[in-house]
Amino acid sequence: MTVINELILHEDRFFGPDAKQKEVAQQLYDAIAGLPLICPHGHVDPTLFSDPDYAFGSPVDLLLIPDHYIFRMLYAQGVRLEDLGILRWDGQPVETDHRQAWQLFADHYHLFRGTPTGIWLDHEFYDVFGVRQKLNSDTAQDIYDQIAAKLRTPEMSPRRMFEQFNIEVLCTTDAATDTLDHHRAIRASGWAATIRPTFRPDSVVNLDFPGWRANIDRLSEVSGITVDGYPAFITALENRRAYFKDMGATATDHAALTPYTEKLSEAEASQIFERALRGDVSAEDAQRFTGHMLIEMARMSIEDGLVMQLHPGSLRNHNPVIFAGFGADKGADIPLATEYTRNLQPLLNAFGHDPRLTLVLFTLDETTYARELAPLAGHYPALLLGPPWWFHDSLNGMARFFDQVMETAGLYNTAGFNDDTRAFPSIQARHDVWRRASANWLAGLVLRRMVDMADAAEMANELAYGLAKRAYKL
Amino acid sequence: MTVINELILHEDRFFGPDAKQKEVAQQLYDAIAGLPLICPHGHVDPTLFSDPDYAFGSPVDLLLIPDHYIFRMLYAQGVRLEDLGILRWDGQPVETDHRQAWQLFADHYHLFRGTPTGIWLDHEFYDVFGVRQKLNSDTAQDIYDQIAAKLRTPEMSPRRMFEQFNIEVLCTTDAATDTLDHHRAIRASGWAATIRPTFRPDSVVNLDFPGWRANIDRLSEVSGITVDGYPAFITALENRRAYFKDMGATATDHAALTPYTEKLSEAEASQIFERALRGDVSAEDAQRFTGHMLIEMARMSIEDGLVMQLHPGSLRNHNPVIFAGFGADKGADIPLATEYTRNLQPLLNAFGHDPRLTLVLFTLDETTYARELAPLAGHYPALLLGPPWWFHDSLNGMARFFDQVMETAGLYNTAGFNDDTRAFPSIQARHDVWRRASANWLAGLVLRRMVDMADAAEMANELAYGLAKRAYKL
Amino acid sequence: MTVINELILHEDRFFGPDAKQKEVAQQLYDAIAGLPLICPHGHVDPTLFSDPDYAFGSPVDLLLIPDHYIFRMLYAQGVRLEDLGILRWDGQPVETDHRQAWQLFADHYHLFRGTPTGIWLDHEFYDVFGVRQKLNSDTAQDIYDQIAAKLRTPEMSPRRMFEQFNIEVLCTTDAATDTLDHHRAIRASGWAATIRPTFRPDSVVNLDFPGWRANIDRLSEVSGITVDGYPAFITALENRRAYFKDMGATATDHAALTPYTEKLSEAEASQIFERALRGDVSAEDAQRFTGHMLIEMARMSIEDGLVMQLHPGSLRNHNPVIFAGFGADKGADIPLATEYTRNLQPLLNAFGHDPRLTLVLFTLDETTYARELAPLAGHYPALLLGPPWWFHDSLNGMARFFDQVMETAGLYNTAGFNDDTRAFPSIQARHDVWRRASANWLAGLVLRRMVDMADAAEMANELAYGLAKRAYKL
């Protein structure tokens, strides 16, 4: 009888199940496992690195409270977020005993069986925190103690972990109005790590963004340009892009409900912008203006060389009870069916043929992989496809991406991996899943004689390292 | 050379193809194969059980005539339904020689190669009827004789089969206006089996349902409440729900063209309902009223504890030639692309955060698994996802469900299996396919080291038994 | 250590990866590998065969310039089409040194790793041209010499290749206004091969087709019927169908942006057609008229027995820069989400129940396989599903087709394979991929005990030969 029962990080995990596929995948993986991590897109807080003495707090502070991938799953089974210690906006009381919150988490840890979150957590527990038990109701407090003790050791500072993770470059995501003080502090500290900001203008470009008017004032302030109309708005954005680029940025990032694009005339854009300044903007205005600004951003990217990223298709804050109590980014964002072929056509007609533009597309609607995104990326010089995103950053999500994208787009029209995470201790685990999934996919190609080992080895290297580095000009 | 050529029910069927995966799957399956069947949703006629002496008729009466999964496939290849013995509404003649109809079926049995219907039939022939030959033109009459002879034996009464199938509970589906006389008779008979009704109000809630006006009169009659307006309608529905609950129901079931929901004001709902009573209702009225009533049904579920099920997305009676000749449920219902994220938002905003509600969602549009349903079920406490439905109740359909749902929703936000069948002799075969598909999926996770055997064994038990039992409060 | 590193056409390529699956697949494949090729749909130029002395030109003339599957991939990586020798409409200069163009192609040949285009090219290089090296920058000129030398040998004439490929029948695609002179010449030449035309009326039926008005004049000319109104238009089309049928055609082929169908009254159809003759036609007119004509074509098919094919869902000429410079069919056509259930209902309500009609459906939107197309084909006698098309004519595309279509539609409601290619030397490679993918799919069914070897062998034969031959009445 096969005995497969230990809770350890098996050397051949995620490969197979065919034994020969495991063997070939292992060989391909071993050659890339030690490559430095390229992290071109994510949401790690730069504060972790600007303060050399930054400490992570309790295991719950570090692992539970900031990670909506985790607490959404407990909420879905009837656990109150308050009982996990998640702070409420309105100041109503929440659990402050982190041992209690941790126990509640451990009592429900079976919910994560077979999920990517479970895989990352098991990796972190074992590899980052040295835990050798399975987390459950019985082991909860013991594991809490182990993690808490580990967090008090010097090697658990963010800077030491960054080095141990072998991160070559980490890009954060920063509002267009951010002054990047923490990035400035990191540079000034003389620490040799490469941490770059990314220019994210949603809060000033999307007219229906919460607090848009105040964000425009803030934009005026940080740019030194009084944004009293559309021309000044464009100038202020160009100013901020230049500042970000000066601070090391190589990319911009854009969220939108849909990938709709439309080139407005200068007059139309101005009129909509002025209506927005007066607080008189319709949903249609907002959609058209966002669609217009995506084209404007592509134009600016051609001029300043910043790589453009577009992440559409998430209906944010689907659950008003959670939004009212806890705010945004609390696991209540739900994907929508998304259309790229017609929506992106105006932008691509303007700039898609220009190799100076790099536009990295993401999706939450996997039906677009084979139908729209792979054919688009397999044609337009400006397009690359980003890796499986968010809910699809998982073993099956990656397998579907490889199977549905690669034959039509070709490997070299994709942009490698990014971890897209705010959970810093999970970064190595996430890249490891990608590298293993890549090796396993390639092993399948080798065994089916579609590529030979020499080609597969090069492809593995590209997936783990080269594609992301080149796509983001890092 | 591998020899794989016998027509028997192989012990390792549906596992693999990898040999080690077969081995682990077999181990997981063996531990759940004998668990009682939980049948929380289906369309078995309770008449089978209310009459202790019920007899099934000929092999064609039992297997062919009631099963549109079967005769649609012959019709698609040019076989006339009349020639299979399917009755016409208009009384025009159909084949009455069941040996002839059976021969025609057997002549076309190759059409079912590799289909779930073929798998179920092979299982029934072998296991229920003891047939050891392959069905084809040559063996047709011999097998007809064997089945006919078997049907004359005492162990082939529905009640004996129910016991032999080891059914712990069987839920039927019953119109809101049904008086549940057969259920009453089953209870009165002293037979120990658990058979529960399910409250299905489509025929009075969907204003465009054929015969809606007469159904309302019938609702008045059975409830004793004169449904002369919207308030009385609501009261009558609450009355019927209470009656069904009293008769053992734990759930309601709702079909709709789309999962559109909208909360109408009392005044709007009343106006639409009164227009419908006057026979003056538009398609838009009907859609909005159904959408409103789904929210009302969720409210009632919170109050009375009945589990709510929603099955949207089937365009019924696509082929008017078949509908005119043979009526509804004749294999001519075709799925539509379906949207859940926006459509369900009004209902979920009202009640999705309330753990007292259980809403089990089904789909005929698999693109919604990873994109909408898994993220929704992985967030809202009220939501569970039902198993692959109808066309997707198949080995590949289950594999896609496991691969596309589980990573994001998590196993524990799903509702186990239901057979959804009117073909009573196929029930064991259908559950067996699910249990084998579950074991095979879990074996893949084990071999890729995503869960250990202890966890996999628990998950297998949940899939086969626990999830459905808890989801439906059985 | 497994050594898998030679560039040869492995005998077991595309099977597995499981070793037992390879073994069973090989057995199934070996029995069908030598069957003649049925090529019921494609775009090979009949000129290749009408002139017994036709010569292919340089390797670039033969392989690169006509094949948008290839050059789109280089364009997507920033290679200018001009530099590959692709002619411009406006006569601006392009590379005329084919050795240079070939070198550029070879320098980028890694782009085709893991793509179907790469698989076909590797097969052609090895099997058709006898090349034993891997194509790359270093081997480019040597391989160019080998192919060029081979092209000068007598066995490389199109007629000899046709015979060596063991093609039983090849159908071309021809405009409704084509006089089929080349087909006439092939017949007149006494060469024994079977080459049939296919009637494709898009250029006169789709009112928004470029040059529609001139095409109508051409239709008048070739039919001898003055198309001055809708009745004459219908008569002229019937005339041309009769001519094509007389010349050996067994099928028609129809492209449309969507599968929208609508039965117009004679008066409405006439009014729209007359507006079109006057050059005054709206987009809505064009869509409705195409939808109406699809129903008309189905009616004619019932009358004349020609098999009808429908290929919807491609948004042609997405990139205006490429269209302006190089024209249509240059790799810039992008799929759209497509809806069949509602769109085809008018046509199917009129004729779907009639077994005299054969309507073969294709799609570029794989989400419709399990949701719409398989249920439709598994019901309507008139419907068959064509093989994976265009971007989905690939190993994964075929695997998805088998997995998502067959359980619900059943094998016998599908239409076998067609290569749909203008790249004549790739025909054998394309059929070989399909036959191997079929054998591999069936081996999986055998190992999972869903069909036995006898059934699998019959199914393999149908997939490779029988289904296409019967579907297209060849």
B131-173 residue pLDDT tens: 999 999 999 999 999 999 999 999 999 999 999 999 999 999 9
Distance from CA of B246 to the nearest CA of A (A): 28
pLDDT 10s digits, B322-371: 999 999 999 999 999 999 999 999 999 999 999 999 999 999 999 999 99
pLDDT at A5: 38
Residue A294 in tokens: 């995506």
pLDDT 10s digits, C32-73: 999 999 999 999 999 999 999 899 999 999 999 999 999 999
Whole-number average pLDDT of chain C: 96
pLDDT at C449: 96
Query: How far apart are the C-alpha atoms of A338 and A314, rounded to whole Å?
Result: 9
Give the CA dihedral B216, B218, B221, B224, nearest 10 degrees: -50
pLDDT at A67: 96
pLDDT 10s digits, C238-270: 999 999 999 999 999 999 999 999 999 999 999
pLDDT at A1: 34
- The count of residues in chain C is 474
- Is residue A342 predicted with pLDDT exceeding 70? yes
Distance from CA of B427 to the nearest CA of C (A): 18
> Is the distance from CB of B25 to CB of B153 less than 8 angstroms?
no
Task: Name the residue in chain A with its Cα closest to that of C115.
Answer: A407
Instruction: Using pLDDT thresholds of 50, 70 and 90, give the confidence band for residue A9.
Output: confident
pLDDT 10s digits, A127-177: 999 999 999 999 999 999 999 999 999 999 999 999 999 999 999 999 999
- Is residue C4 predicted with pLDDT exceeding 80? no
Residue A52 in tokens: 């050399």
Q: Looking at the complex, does the CB of residue A446 fall below 8 Å from at least one CB of chain C?
A: yes
In one-letter notation, the amino acid at residue A268 is E
pLDDT at C7: 54
Residue numbers in A near B21 (CB within 8 A): 17
Contact (CB<8Å) B379/A12: no
> Is the distance from CB of A344 to CB of A360 less than 8 angstroms?
no
> Is the distance from CB of B264 to CB of B288 less than 8 angstroms?
yes
pLDDT 10s digits, A298-331: 999 999 999 999 999 999 999 999 999 999 999 9
- State yes or no: cis peptide before A231, omega within 30 of 0: no
pLDDT at C5: 38
Tell me if domain B19-54+157-471 and domain B57-154 are identical in fold.
no
CA C103 to chain centroid, in Å, comes to 29
Contact (CB<8Å) A4/B353: no
- Is residue C3 predicted with pLDDT exceeding 90? no
Task: Name the residue in chain A with its Cα closest to that of B339.
Answer: A337
**On the CB side of A351, how many CA atoms lie within 13 Å of its CA?**
22
Nearest residue, CB atoms, B76 vs list C407, C413, C447? C413
Q: Looking at the complex, does the CB of residue B345 fall below 8 Å from at least one CB of chain A?
A: yes
> Is the distance from CB of C335 to CB of B351 less than 8 angstroms?
no
Say how many C-beta atoms besides its own lie within 10 A of residue A454's C-beta.
11
Burial level of B117, CB count in 10 A (0-12/13-18/19+)? buried
Q: At what angle do helices A266-277 and A212-223 cross, to 10 degrees?
A: 110
Whole-number average pLDDT of chain A: 96
End-to-end CA distance of chain B: 49
Contact (CB<8Å) B452/A15: no
Q: What is the torsional sign of CA A424, A426, A429, A431?
A: negative
What are the residues whose beta carbons fall under 8 Å from the beta carbon of B23, sequence distance 6 or more?
A1, A2, B443
**Closest to B458 (Cα-Cα) out of B391, B423, B412, B419:** B412
Q: At what angle do helices C98-107 and C68-75 cross, to 10 degrees?
A: 70
CA B434 to chain centroid, in Å, comes to 14
- Is residue B5 predicted with pLDDT exceeding 50? no
Q: Looking at the complex, does the CB of residue C439 fall below 8 Å from at least one CB of chain A?
A: no
Query: How far apart are the C-alpha atoms of B371 and B377, rounded to whole Å?
Result: 11
Contact (CB<8Å) C339/B337: yes
- C contact test, residue of B1, B4, B326 with most C CBs within 10 A: B4
Nearest residue, CB atoms, A448 vs list C2, C17, C73? C17
Residue A105 in tokens: 């988490």
pLDDT 10s digits, C214-236: 999 999 999 999 999 999 999 99
pLDDT at B67: 96
Helix (H, G, I), strand (E, B) or coil at A119: helix
Q: What is the percent of chain C where pLDDT is above 70?
A: 98
CA distances from C70 to B301, C14, C123, C265, C389 (A): 59, 21, 15, 45, 16
Q: Say how many CB pairs under 8 Å bridge B and C.
A: 148
CA distances from A266 to A202, A230, A234, B412, C456 (A): 20, 8, 11, 53, 65
> Is the distance from CB of B229 to CB of B273 less than 8 angstroms?
yes
> What fold does the segment set C56-154 form as a domain?
uronate isomerase, domain 2, chain A (1.10.2020)
Instruction: Using pLDDT thresholds of 50, 70 and 90, give the confidence band for residue A72.
Output: very high
- The secondary structure of residue C394, as a DSSP letter, is S
**Residue range C453-462: average pLDDT?**
98
Give the CA dihedral B55, B61, B66, B71, nearest 10 degrees: 160
Coarse DSSP helix, strand, coil percentages of chain B, rounded to the nearest 5 percent: 50, 10, 40
Considering the domain B57-154 in this protein, what is its CATH number? 1.10.2020.10
Chain C residues 388-407 with a CB less than 8 Å from chain A: 391-392, 394-397, 400
Considering the domain B19-54+157-471 in this protein, what is its CATH number? 3.20.20.140
Q: Looking at the complex, does the CB of residue C242 fall below 8 Å from at least one CB of chain B?
A: no
Instruction: Using pLDDT thresholds of 50, 70 and 90, give the confidence band for residue A3.
Output: very low
pLDDT at B4: 37
pLDDT at C155: 92
Q: What is the percent of chain B where pLDDT is above 70?
A: 98
Contact (CB<8Å) A406/C318: no
Q: Looking at the complex, does the CB of residue C353 fall below 8 Å from at least one CB of chain B?
A: yes
Domain extents in chain A: 19-54+157-471, 56-154
Q: What is the percent of chain B where pLDDT is above 90?
A: 97
Residue numbers in C near B333 (CB within 8 A): 375
Coarse DSSP helix, strand, coil percentages of chain A, rounded to the nearest 5 percent: 55, 10, 40
Chain C residues 94-123 with a CB less than 8 Å from chain A: 110-116, 119
Give chains near C: 3+ CB pairs under 8 A.
Answer: A, B
Coarse DSSP helix, strand, coil percentages of chain C, rounded to the nearest 5 percent: 55, 10, 40
Which backbone phi and psi does B78 adopt, to 5 degrees? 95, 5
**Residue range A339-351: average pLDDT?**
98
Task: Name the residue in chain C with its Cα closest to that of B313.
Answer: C371
Residue numbers in B near A319 (CB within 8 A): 348-349, 352-353, 379-380
- Is residue B267 predicted with pLDDT exceeding 90? yes
Instruction: Using pLDDT thresholds of 50, 70 and 90, give the confidence band for residue C9.
Output: confident
pLDDT at C2: 37
Helix (H, G, I), strand (E, B) or coil at B355: coil
Residue numbers in A near C394 (CB within 8 A): 407-408
Query: How far apart are the C-alpha atoms of B413 and A390, rounded to whole Å?
Result: 19
Contact (CB<8Å) A459/C113: yes
Residue numbers in B near A75 (CB within 8 A): 379, 381
